[in-house]
Amino acid sequence: MRILILGGTAFLSTEIARQAVAAGHDVTCLARGSAAAPPEGTAWLRADRTQGKQAYEKAAGDWDAVIDVARDPDQARDALECLAPAAEHWTAVSSCSVYADPSVPGADESAALLPPLAPDTAYAPENYGEAKSAIEQYATTMAGAKAHLCRAGLIGGPGDGTDRYGYWPARFSRDAGPVVVPDIGGSATQIIDVRDLAAWILKAAGLKIGGALNAVGSVVPFEDYLDESKRIAGFGGRTLTVPEDWLVARGIAYWAGKDSLPLWLPPGHDGFTTRSNDAAVAAGLTLRPWQETLRDTLDDERRRGLDRERKAGLSAETEERLLAEFQSLGAS
């Protein structure tokens, strides 16, 4: 296939480009390249998508597949207007954050969506779900049946710059603890390996699959994920299970970011990590064992440095403070 990737220099889009080149496709990446260059073997169109439609002038022509990972609806709309008429297939990499209700376990693609971000509203991380909903609306309107709305879940695996999925195996590998763990019982995790997601996007493009499909991983109990993280890290120390409200009262963040406990979600999010992937699996999505993803993620964490400053997780100083305070209350 002749493939245009609108991106190609970050986590998922780089993996898509890498796999496409390895499969023998003719791959072009349209990107600024301010942080990194596209993978070897791709053609690189340097362009800044913030400049509007002029960014796509050099990409005009017939494409077997266009893959867009945009978060900004304005950029997605401009790309669709310029490129979709001549493209055979269009992938809008969306997100399960488009769903309006994260509380319903096992919900599928028929669940209600957030309202699209209004055209006069600037994209910001706080309106990510609404922005992706707007992108889906643009793709459906402008690309029609040839648009694949790939609703990705949390993406993990080697190279993950968010530092979320790798926090726990890296923490257990760093030292013998004790390690602060939220008391979340049988809560679920649901991760899709970046390599599996990239392979699915390329497969769907080749098969001309359209419509909205949840590209999410297997549902894994948080306790199982923690136990496997300990095992592969060789952790023989002690964990300290702490009540959720106690953590919240001390400013510890859910899910991601500085001084957070990754994969711990606020109340009312039982469905966020239990989305149905039945439709995508039936269409050809394949998933490797989650234990393999976890093992490869820990290998990547070790290469990057277990003591590095992280984008997600507790710093060593914060964890020590929490341990001291909790133990001073006579808890164990």
Go through the domains of the chain in sequence order and give each one's CATH number: 2-152 (3.40.50.720), 167-191+219-270+289-328 (3.90.25.10)
Among 186, 219, 200, which Cα is nearest to 280's?
A: 200
Sign of the alpha-carbon dihedral angle for 178, 183, 186, 190: negative
Among 229, 110, 112, 227, which Cα is nearest to 164's?
A: 229
Query: 194: which residues sit within 8 A by CB, 6+ positions away?
Result: 11, 12, 15, 155, 156, 157, 158, 159, 160
Q: Inter-axis angle of helices 290-304 and 167-174, to 10 degrees?
A: 60
CB 49 within 8 A of CB 78: yes
Is the pLDDT score of 186 beyond 90?
no
Q: What Cα–Cα distance (Å) separates residue 94 from each residue in 70, 116, 130, 207? A: 8, 13, 11, 19
Q: Coil, strand or helix: which one is 20?
A: helix
Averaged over 246-251, what is the pLDDT? 96
Is the pLDDT score of 34 beyond 80?
no
pLDDT more than 70, % of the chain: 99
Q: How far apart are CA 47 and CA 330, in angstroms?
A: 59
Q: How far apart are CA 47 and CA 51, in angstroms?
A: 8
Whether the predicted model's global pTM rises above the 0.85 cut: yes
pLDDT confidence tier of residue 332, bands split at 50, 70 and 90 = very low
Is the pLDDT score of 94 beyond 90?
yes
Q: How far apart are CA 274 and CA 288, in angstroms?
A: 17
Averaged over 140-151, what is the pLDDT? 98
- Phi/psi at 273 (nearest 5 deg)? -115, 20
Q: Would you call the peptide bond into 243 cis, given omega within 30 degrees of 0 as the criterion? A: no
- Would you call 60 exposed, middle or buried from its count of C-beta atoms within 10 A (0-12, 13-18, 19+)? exposed
